[in-house]
Amino acid sequence: MIRDLFVVVVLNVLSINMLYAYSGPDRIIPAPVEYTLSEGVYSLKCDGSDVKIYLSSPDFARKVENLPDYAKEEAYALSVGKKGVKIYALTDEGAFRGRQALEQMRLLDKDVRYCEIFDYPRFRHRGIMLDESRSFKGKAFILKQIDALALLRMNVLHLHLTDAAGWRIQIDAYPNLTDHVAWRRGEVYHEWEAMGYPFTNADDPQAYGGFYTKDDIREIVAYAAERHIDIIPEIEMPGHSMEVNRAYPELSCVGPDGKPRPFSWDLCVGNDQTIRFLETVLEEVMELFPYKYIHIGGDEAVKKDWEVCVNCQRRMKEEGMSDKSGLQGYLVRHIEKFLRERGKIIIGWDEIVETGLPEQATVMSWRGTPGGIKASSMGHDVIMSPNTYVYLDYYQDLIKKEPRAVGHLQSLRHVYSYDPVEGISPEYHHHILGLQGNLWCELIPYPSHAEYMLYPRAFAIAEIGWTPQDKREFFAFRERALALIQVFRSLGYSTFDLTNETLKAQTGRLRFDGFPL
């Protein structure tokens, strides 16, 4: 502990001087797999005209021949010398990753040390989730974050587009979703909740919300594709779906009195109209998102109304279900088959492990790591996003100095300490696709606040996903993060002030059990 405090103090003193040193691969995030530095400095041209790309080098092909296919596609070699810059790759994607590494060096300082880099990612999935349902921030915000992900050599953006607090994507077949439940009263989720969940429309002066038109989505997807970032849409089911029941009460569970229950948290799995609704919505979603994955939620179904719903009880009897949880498994398996037949793979939160996991399903482990460990041992692909490490709506410093947040203190150092394969038998490591940081937005209504929570902790997630575990070291990373934060601020991002992070946060993770830290 004393050594850690000493190192932190020394690095804080030295970091200011380091901000003005020459740039090079030793200063970027994520850290490259291999690099060498040599005497000499090259001044990069801002227009990139001094960069030459080579996509058919036999020497480079031999160098990457033993890498996994996903790593080959993103691998690059980069050379900076007195005649300029050369980038070698097998694909345009690999060349782009090399250009982004070079761009980060240029942003740190256009004078770059002569160097040689050989680089490729540790994991294929390196992502961030943005919760647009609880807090709608709009197209400009999303495009800006795509630029940040590209600079960090990340490759997935997960958009949480539907939830009880608002439906955020245009669906032609069901216009009420955007006409009636894309707008609410109350900027902050808990304000809306306290008022009794009032929805409204865009003409209301007190309306908060919005949605993405199909043209917005096409623009976002195209913008991301240019930067070799895939977008995963999430359409929640069967829980987190009160907004659907409010927009279309005829889809709601029906009580013994024959009346719909439009305030139900869950979709009515016993209603055939609900199944047709979901299939129709997903057909329109698939037209917009070309990536092979569709996230279907699957978490936190309350199941209370299913106990009294005449349609759900009938479905349970017809399917021979002895427990209401069987309804969730029934829906997940039906939707998985529907999407698989159309060339898509479902992702579900780890609750889907408990209700009969479809053979082709990918699991996103959020309730710590047990769900991912179990799913991988069952032969399923897994994306690790445990709330114990990579939930970015949690406090990143002492509660008394931070905006209101969720959960315990999850500092930069704690996030960086995560290894996605920890606790998983080596024989199942190939099922761990990677990791993802999740930014839930019940308490985060504004873009500047969202960026404050994202950066620099997204830097840590980028390095975990890219850099080999044995080449990661926190204090060296933190020094690089201090410099990169200055770059992000110069680009207009509102970041956490890492220079004023408390020593308690710098030296570990503290639990929050309801008392101020």
B/e letters for 427-460, b = 16+ CB within 10 Å, e = fewer, are ebeebbbbbbbbbbbbbbbebebbbbbbbbbbbb
The rounded distance, in Å, linking the Cα atoms of 300 and 464 is 28
Decide if 500 contacts 482 (C-beta within 8 A).
no
DSSP string, 443-462: T--SHHHHHHHHTTHHHHHH
Phi/psi of residue 439, nearest 5 degrees = -110, 95
Please name every residue paired with 8 in a beta bridge, in sequence order, or none if there are none.
none
The catalytic residue among 300, 334, 402, 449 is: 300
The rounded distance, in Å, linking the Cα atoms of 79 and 448 is 37
Query: Tokens for 228?
Result: 């070799």
Instruction: Judge whether 307 counts as a catalytic residue.
Output: no
Phi/psi of residue 236, nearest 5 degrees = -70, 140
Strands (E) in 312-351, as ranges, are 345-349
- CA-nearest of 489, 400, 482, 396 to 444 is 396
Number of Cβ atoms within 10 Å of the Cβ of 487: 19
The rounded distance, in Å, linking the Cα atoms of 439 and 139 is 17
Reported as half-sphere exposure (CB side, CA atoms, 13 A), residue 152 has a value of 31
Neighbouring residues of 328: CB distance < 8 A, sequence distance ≥ 6? 238, 269, 298, 301, 303, 351, 352, 355
Phi/psi of residue 41, nearest 5 degrees = -135, 135
Which residue type is seen at 403? Answer: P
Instruction: Judge whether 402 counts as a catalytic residue.
Output: no
The catalytic residue among 73, 109, 132, 163 is: 163
Helix (H) or strand (E) holding 488: helix 474-490
Please name every residue paired with 111 in a beta bridge, in sequence order, or none if there are none.
43
The catalytic residue among 125, 158, 228, 240 is: 240
Which residue type is seen at 114? Answer: Y
Decide if 211 contacts 197 (C-beta within 8 A).
no
B/e letters for 52-62, b = 16+ CB within 10 Å, e = fewer, are ebeeeeeebee
- CA-nearest of 90, 94, 70, 153 to 430 is 70
Pairing state between β 293-297 and 362-365:
unpaired
Instruction: Judge whether 408 counts as a catalytic residue.
Output: no
List residues with catalytic annotation: 163, 240, 300
